[in-house]
Chain A
Amino acid sequence: MAQTSQPPFGLVHAFYAVMGGFAFYGPFDDNSPTAEESFFQISTNPRHTVEVPKINTLEYIVEHFPHILTDIPEEYILDQAASSSLSKALLIVQVAWFCTNCASRLYQRLPLSLLEVTTAAHAFCTLITYFVWWSKPLNVVAPTIMREKEAREVYALLKCSDDEYEKALEMAQKRAAADPPTLSTAHGSEKVVLAADALQHLLPTPERPPHSSRFHDGGRIMVPGIFKTGPGRGLTELLSVGLLIISTMLYGLVHFLAWGGRIPTSLERLLWQVSSLVVACSGLAEAFMVLLGAWWEDTISGKIAEVFVILTAAVVIPFAHILASGFLIVESFRELSFLDSAAYQLPSWTNYWPHFS
């Protein structure tokens, strides 16, 4: 059979895997399954667990057993998603119309209300989010449970402890050497036998699964959303910090459009300016504290420094950000009572852009 007959692995599969779309199912938390329980049986036994692999485990799977993910076709994944490309495109056209409307108001020197500025900031972030999430299957209610034999073998391998892994490896090597297996289901755990089946595909130099925790904690699963982001590794961590700066700055900078706008009182103007600055720079401050914390960890072992960094990064900056964001939203609604007549004028040409109004 030609290799190209295997279904392709694209961004849809990758997004689906990262968002927790692929899940394993089985009773591997219990090392002594009862005789009537088969590992290949679709069961509703409450002892069976559904577990979602973490990113490091997914990397291991795509490196060694990609077929268990690609066996589920892309059409199946997209069929579960609640949004289509058409609905996304319609929303983008509408949001783009609003952004163009704001830009043309500025060009024609018509005033922008604070509500328009706040909405523009939301629209701008939404546009980028939609672009980034174009291939992501949205609103999938439940993960896809992988119950096929090969998936269960991989699940058994991932659930193995160090001792069980050694036993499984020994069994796989003996099978490959055509020796009669010394370990069988009667003497060893069925998990080991399944793990040995999986390892047989990786011989002669099988790679051990990642040592760190391999599955998401059940309480943290946010399907159909996203997992809480944990600390990354190396370049990923740096990228994550950079993204934090960029995303808050993008959102905050749009509010600067009303820097010299018609705000009812001078105090409110000052508060708007300060709030815009706080929102724009909070990501930068958070990143600075994270880096400072990492630097202090290496140089000073003082508890005071650690408490200061944690308190600032986890309490002060997020609280200031929420407070400033809240003020920007409330003030944008409050200003509606003080709008002048020019705010109701429409720029002439945006009426020709197809949109809902």
Chain B
Amino acid sequence: MFITLLAPEVLLYLAINERIKAGILLRKALKFYPHLEKPGMFVSVCHWVRGRVKSKDVSAKCQSLVIY
């Protein structure tokens, strides 16, 4: 809290440093285990829509538009 009030530039420096370290760790994990990648927002939306389309709750009439 004090750092934020008196020296926000120090907090900014620490934040970017930490983000870089987290990025390095994430990249390393995904390099060896690409299947662990968390889908982004757009891909998540696509998966959700595809899931809804194929679900039993949706009528066959609506599904046919996507299937064919």
Contacts and interface: CB of A to CB of B under 8 A. Distances in A.
B25 A59 contact: yes
B22 interface: yes
A135 B18 CA distance: 12
Contacts, number: 118
Contacts of A9: 26, 29-30, 33, 36-38
Given A10-B38, A14-B22, A70-B36, A129 B28 contact: no
Contacts of B45: none
Nearest to B5: A122
A129 B12 contact: yes
Given A8-B36, A70-B36, A129-B8, A243 B26 contact: no
B21 A62 contact: no
Nearest to A58: B25
Given A9-B33, A133-B19, A18 B25 contact: yes
B42 interface: no
Interface residues of B, number: 33
Contacts of A8: 36-39
Scoring B7, B8, B20, B35 by chain A CB atoms within 10 A of each residue's CB, the highest score goes to B8
Contacts of B32: 62-63, 66
Contact of B25 (A55, A70, A283): A55
Contacts of B36: 6-9, 66, 70
Given A3-B35, A9-B33, A248-B9, A129 B15 contact: yes
Given A9-B37, A251-B9, 19 more contacts: A6-B35, A7-B36, A8-B39, A9-B30, A9-B36, A14-B29, A15-B19, A17-B22, A62-B29, A66-B32, A74-B38, A125-B9, A128-B12, A128-B15, A133-B15, A136-B22, A236-B21, A251-B8, A283-B9
5 contacts: A8-B39, A14-B26, A121-B8, A239-B20, A247-B13
Interface of B: 4-26, 28-30, 32-33, 35-39
Interface of A: 3-4, 6-11, 13-15, 17-19, 55, 58-59, 62-63, 66, 70, 74, 121-122, 125-126, 128-129, 132-133, 135-136, 226, 229, 236, 239-240, 243-244, 247-248, 250-252, 279, 283, 325, 329
